[in-house]
Copies of this chain bind each other. A is one copy, B any other.
């Protein structure tokens, strides 16, 4: 599959780009509002992989170009850029699955809590902003980006997948499963997105309070 990481110049984009390229045959494209930044970051990811003997091509484009002909677009942008980013790429979406990993959080004197938008969840906000017929799947909310981008780190994490379109969810689950150390679990319909997104501030708070770092979650 062709996977576009829109806003993929940050930590989550780096981790997904590096691991998907290393662990799978998927083609990874980096998107950014600034195409030069996208190309620079794509070159950096390529160089990181080349140091490990992996000679795959990663390209970088403006978001709307990156999304063009992508099978899956992962919206690696903060929640407050989500609707704008979807508007920007809307004309490029054709049989494309949108993946929303963003979370709304509130920081109250160092304690992170969940701060959902009025849509109920950030994933629901993305679903509301997406063009008709474009399925939106919530996934990758709970990945600690620093550890994800460290190719020496073992993960052992679950990725919780929510949404209304079962075929789209199955595709995203396959994508998540293609990363070593990640196993996707079906977390149900969009109504469960608040619980899934709420895990992210909890992981951050628990890490801080217990001198742990880069926590992910495992259900067992």
Residues of A within 8 A of B (CB): 108, 111, 113-114, 156, 160, 185-189, 191-192, 194-196, 198-199, 201-203, 205-207, 209-210, 212, 215-220
A169 to chain B, nearest CB (A): 10
In the complex, the answer to whether B202 meets A192 with C-beta atoms within 8 Å is yes
Number of copies of this chain that the complex holds: 2
A186 to B219, CA, bound (A): 18
A214 to chain B, nearest CB (A): 9
In the complex, the answer to whether A187 meets B199 with C-beta atoms within 8 Å is no
Task: Return chain B residues, CB-CB under 8 Å to A194.
Answer: 113-114, 198
Contacts known (A187-B209, A219-B206, A219-B215); A192 close to B113, Cβ less than 8 A: yes
In the complex, the answer to whether A205 meets B192 with C-beta atoms within 8 Å is yes
Can you offer 25 A-B residue contacts whose CB atoms are under 8 A? A108-B191, A111-B188, A111-B189, A111-B191, A113-B192, A156-B220, A160-B202, A160-B206, A185-B209, A186-B206, A186-B210, A187-B205, A187-B206, A187-B209, A188-B205, A195-B202, A198-B198, A199-B202, A203-B219, A206-B219, A212-B219, A216-B219, A217-B218, A217-B219, A218-B219
